[in-house]
Amino acid sequence: MRTTLILSLCILATLIYDAGGQGRKPGSTLGERVQQLTDLTNKRSVLRFNANKFKDFVKSTPRNYSIIVMFTAMAPQRQCAVCRQAHDEYTIVANSYRYSPSYSNKLFFAMVDFDEGSEVFQMMRLNTAPVFIHFPPKGKPKNADTMDIQRIGFGAEAVAKWIQERTDIQIRVFRPPNYSGTLAVIILFSFVAGFLYLRRNNLEFLYNKTMWGMWSLFFCFAMTSGQMWNHIRGPPFVHKNQNGQVVYIHGSSQGQFVFETYIIMFLNAAVVVGLILMTEASKGKGDARKRKIFAVVGLILVSVFFSLLLSVFKTKTQGYPYSFLFR
């Protein structure tokens, strides 16, 4: 009887031990998971997760690391126009962190493509892309752990700032060198030098005040509209919101789109044309009827397009109380 009881206890202990061993997968301990993530990050800054890897590295507990996951759909048939741009900006942030002095195993970057992990999208109840979510070391993600790309965009600098707010880890963004601007300057300089050489015997056009005035205005329009900001930050041309609608004006004063630059340039030019017409009308020379038309047209141009400029500024600066003609 005693032997039978001892044998039963041994069998029960063996079953309990086997059940515990089956419940813990090989490599699922915290130390092993961190080491696996570190090894994978050494090969690629942005890790590609499917449903199984997402459950193992993101949903499993305990965790002592933060992980940023980009949910995207980059397959051409998904028709996500901004997913590739968002992925490029996200990769810049991940690479910047990977080669920065602050790099550690406390933060990792990953992505889940819809075609590789549709189960994850269903698990997270996501029906749009791209989406950036921060999974903290403890607890579930809060509302602030989902990046509001409608408000701040998805540029590398915006992503890095959002990560700093959620993890207290500062990432200095390093963009890869772009030699297209240098090449364009060299080509332009060569073209101008060649043109001056061919016209070396007839350079009176260099004293044309109208020509220099037009070039000065164009330079001012380019600088005041944000062309230099575009050259430094590399923002997307336009943006699609969650409803699939194309957005031309960035909703924050901290960002802008390339097409938005062209809009601002056109509005500034229209205001300047209106001021020029009113100036010409005030000189008191020429036909009175013609000067009156110039004054009226100039006043309309300044009023309408300055109102549009003010409306754009009010849209980008939340809480600005003033408007004129348009809200």
Report pLDDT digits (tens) over 180-232: 778 888 998 898 888 777 777 777 777 788 888 888 888 888 888 888 877 77
Lowest mean pLDDT among 39-43, 114-118, 273-277, 284-288: 284-288
> Does the pLDDT at position 321 exceed 80?
no
pLDDT digits (tens, 9 = 90+) for 234-264: 777 777 766 667 777 877 777 788 888 888 8
| pLDDT 10s digits, 123-154 | 888 888 889 999 999 888 888 899 988 778 88
Instruction: Kindly state whether residues 157 and 268 are assigned to the same domain.
Output: no
Last residue of a domain, one of 167, 198, 233: 167
131 located within any domain: yes
| 213 and 311 assigned to the same domain | yes
pLDDT of residue 23: 35
Q: Are 149 and 255 within one domain?
A: no
Residues 288 and 148 in one domain: no
Q: Are residues 119 and 225 in the same domain?
A: no
> Which two three-digit tokens encode residue 287?
């036909």
Q: 280 and 152, same structural domain?
A: no
Instruction: Look at residue 242 in the predicted model and tell me its pLDDT.
Output: 63
Element (H, E) at 201: none
Q: Percent of the chain at pLDDT above 70?
A: 89
The CATH number of the domain holding residue 45 is 3.40.30.10
Residue 201 covered by a domain: no
Report if residue 198 sits inside a domain: no
Q: Are residues 121 and 251 in the same domain?
A: no
Spatial CA neighbour of 310 closest among 294, 320, 323: 323
Q: Is residue 173 assigned to a domain? A: no
Same domain, 109 and 255: no
Number of domains in the chain: 2
Q: Which residues pair with 131 in a beta bridge?
A: 71
pLDDT class of 20 with cuts at 50, 70, 90: very low
Question: Does 250 share its domain with 145?
Answer: no
Full 3-state SS string of 244-273 = CCEECCCCCCCCCCHHHHHHHHHHHHHHHH
Residue 187 lies in a domain: no
Q: Do 163 and 255 belong together in one domain?
A: no
Amino acid identity for residue 9 in this structure: L
pLDDT value, residue 17: 34
Residue with tokens 């038309």: 293
190 within some domain: no
Domain range enclosing 19: 9-167
Q: Which of 136, 167, 198 is the last residue of a domain?
A: 167
Question: Is the residue at 42 inside a domain?
Answer: yes
Question: Among residues 116, 141, 167, which one ends one of the domains?
Answer: 167
Q: How many CB atoms lie within 10 A of CB 210?
A: 7
Residue 28 has what pLDDT?
A: 60
Q: Are residues 39 and 120 in the same domain?
A: yes
Please indicate, yes or no, whether residues 229 and 303 belong to a single structural domain of this protein.
yes
